Amino acid sequence: MKTLIQISIFLIVLCSLLGSELPEFKSELFKRGKLIYCDEFDGPLNREFWGQPKGKTIKDGKLFVGPLFQSKEEAMKVLKRDHHLGLEPVAHINRIPRKFVMNLRYQFAKPELTPGRPSFQIGHHMINLGIVKEGGHRLKLPDGPTFFEPESDMALNKWIDLVIEYELGKIRVVANGHGKTYEHEKVTIINPKDKYGPRFTFKGGPECVIIFDSVRLWDCQG
């Protein structure tokens, strides 16, 4: 909690020094939110939220995430194992609050959809947000139902403007202006087996680069 307060103070001071205003807080689920992370990738990588820098490059105001290794042989030699070799781009945004609003602009640069990829996990191995081949997106709850939003225009190689609002039992997902609020007992980002969570996990699959343009994250109250 102390660290989040320090981050919030730093953001306020930084915006003041730069002569800019804090991003406006808007929410359908919450009345108040404290901005804890805001990034347009015009500076160094924020390792507190993004973790290790390997495979990540900031250029022209964007964060590019690629694979950690270019070949299986190279990965096995370095890692001394034959699994989880880092041959596809994977990104995590850490330190996700138990109640939050997130605004994110990103895309998956990739020739075509492949089985299970790309994917965006809201909570590591929990709620899965995926692109539908026929158009739009689907939201799969852990051990629960799947919801479809065909009008969202979510696709490969196109910017996705995403808003997520979450609290236990309720999530609102709006992609490119299309979405809704879902209330269900299976709505949770808490994975008891994930010692780093709660966090977001992006997996691109083969021949993919994940590109982030901006991210804003608020810790919310009722």
Determine whether domain 2-221 maps to CATH 2.60.120.200.
Answer: yes
Query: For residue 13, what pLDDT is reported?
Result: 45
> What does the pLDDT read at residue 16?
38
Span 177-218, pLDDT tens digits: 999 999 999 999 999 999 998 999 999 999 999 999 999 999
Single pTM value for the model: 0.88
Q: What is the 3-state secondary structure (H, E, C) of the chain?
A: CHHHHHHHHHHHHHHHHHCCCCCCCCCCCCCEEEEEEEECCCCCCCHHHHCCCCCEEEECCEEEECCCCCCHHHHHHHHCCCCCCCCCCEEEECCCCCCEEEEEEEEEECCCCECCECEEEECCCCEEEEECCCCCEEEECCCCCEEEECCCCCCCCCCEEEEEEEECCEEEEEECCEEEEEECCCCCCCCCCCCCCCCEEEECCCCCEEEEEEEEEEEEEC
Domain borders along the chain are 2-221
